[in-house]
Amino acid sequence: MFADLTIKEFLREVVSRNPVPGGGSVAALAGALSAALSEMVSNLTIGKRGYEELDDEMKEIALETQKYREKLVEYVDKDSEAYNGVMVAYKMPKETEVERDIRSIELQKSMKHAALVPLEIAHDTFHLIQLAGKLVRKGNKSAVTDGAVATMMARTAAHSAIYNVKVNLESIKDKMFVNEVSEKLQTLENEVDRLEREILSRIQL
């Protein structure tokens, strides 16, 4: 689907009148770009003179960021599919009371799913900030700015995903679900910002 498009094709889809791909898909793509940069920094550190003792750790980070990169590329489409599910529910018949009840149940179910997909993106990109921080501290110093960009891209992806969760929560009637997810979002937001500040403060240019 969208993940298989070229960059130019994807951008044309974003600027179209279609609601997808939207902010959630773009957040996933930003996260995938962050993972790719971190993977690059890891690879630029492995086998380099002066960093030999870090080879095992860097190989582990490279493997982990590869997994996140592949997963987040999949979420470019998963977020769009989740939004499409909401649109399908909105279009369900509502002429009778039974139809309205069924539509309401399906709409709430699809809204929850549409909230949980970007929540997963937010969690993953938070972990990417942690990995980028390790690379800024220990990785090849000639690629330290790439580690910084990876950090900032992951931070942007996380906040973008969080916003997408919040907008879906506004339409969900299950207060226990809303409160539980909102608490997770608050913790994530605080930690994402704290980590980014801490990581970027280490970079002297």
14-24 pLDDT, tens per residue?
A: 999 999 999 99
Provide the percentage of residues in the chain whose pLDDT is more than 90.
98
State yes or no: pLDDT of 204 exceeds 90: no
| Closest-CA residue to 30 (of 83, 57, 68, 61) | 68
Helical H segments across 91-174, by residue range: 97-138, 144-169
Q: Is the peptide bond prior to 19 cis by the omega test (within 30 degrees of 0)?
A: no
Q: Which domains, from first to last, does the chain contain?
A: 22-200 (1.20.120.680)
In 3D space, the residue among 32, 14, 31 whose CA is nearest the CA of residue 23 turns out to be: 14
Q: Could you tell me how far CA 15 lies from the centroid of its own chain?
A: 20
Q: What whole-number distance in Å separates Cα of residue 175 and Cα of residue 118? A: 19
- Quick: pLDDT tens for 158-187: 999 999 999 999 999 999 999 999 999 999
Overall pTM > 0.85: yes
Tell me the longest C-alpha to C-alpha distance in the chain.
73
Tens-digit pLDDT profile for residues 23-36: 999 999 999 999 99
CA atoms within 13 A on the CB side of 36: 10
Q: Could you read off the pLDDT of 105-160 as tens digits, one per residue? A: 999 999 999 999 999 999 999 999 999 999 999 999 999 999 999 999 999 999 99
